[in-house]
Amino acid sequence: MEVKVIAFDADDTLWENEHYFRYTEELFCSFFQEYGPDDQLLAILNDTGRKNIPLYGFGIKSFVLSMIEAGLTITQGNLPAPLIEQMIGLGKEMIEKPIALMDGIETVLSTLQGRYTLIVATKGDLLDQERKLRKSGLAGYFHHIEIMSEKNEQAYLKLTHHLAVQPGELLMVGNSLPSDILPVLNIGGHGMYIPYHITNVHEQAPPMMDHPRCKQLGSVREILQHI
């Protein structure tokens, strides 16, 4: 690989994240048990979130707004104020959660630093992602931080232009096929796909097929075996 830049996704690649959302979804369902089974309640929440992503983007704040809106749908507009307060409180708790780094990520970054230009390429709420990066202690490894509203071919081409590299000189490491891997492969870049054991409902995709410019790894530590 003629790689000069290695870009890392943040959530569930550098640190764990998705399990906090799953736990909060369970609490959400517990609020509305009298209205139906969990799968129906989650379907309403997920459909609401999917419709709101173009308006609010990704992240905890968007998730909280979607919980409130889904609650209004479930209760037909009769969502009690104390429940709204609880949902807002859950969002604040999620923001304050400690950062749990992926096993081996600091070893990988310290080994690659100096050999490649390392960057973060992630999406989500700007303040929240900046806060998590600061709390993680990993910021010093990265030459550039890119927080995108959406990860698509155009966004990655813009990123390579900003970094003054060709698409074929970019390697993207991440846990999401539709956001981290496929758009980069489509512009001629390289990918290392590291599935997380939980996949966000908005990031699900068919299994990765064999591709000459992509490797599927079992853990972040395996990166060093292929660089």
Tens-place pLDDT, residues 120-176: 999 988 888 999 999 999 999 999 999 998 899 999 999 999 999 999 999 999 999
Burial of 209 (0-12, 13-18, 19+ CB in 10 A): exposed
Indicate whether this model's pTM tops 0.85: yes
Cβ burial 160-182 (10 Å sphere, 16+ → b, else e): beebebebbbbbbbbbbbebbbb
Outline which parts of the chain fall under CATH 3.40.50.1000: 5-16+100-225
197: pLDDT strictly greater than 90: no
Average of per-residue pLDDT across 57-77: 95
Outline which parts of the chain fall under CATH 1.10.150.240: 18-95
Q: Which of 87-96, 134-143, 184-193, 204-213 has the lowest mean pLDDT?
A: 204-213
Whole-number Å distance between alpha carbons of 62 and 226: 37
Query: Does domain 18-95 fall into CATH 1.10.150.240?
Result: yes
Q: Report the SS3 class of residue 173.
A: strand
* CATH topology for the 5-16+100-225 domain: Rossmann fold (3.40.50)
Return the HEC string of 105-138: HHHHHHHHECCEEEEEEEECCHHHHHHHHHHHCC
> In this structure, how many other beta carbons lie within 10 angstroms of the beta carbon of residue 28?
24
Confidence label for 227 from pLDDT (cuts 50, 70 and 90): confident
pLDDT in tens, 22-35: 999 999 999 999 99
Quote the tokens at residue 65: 């707004």
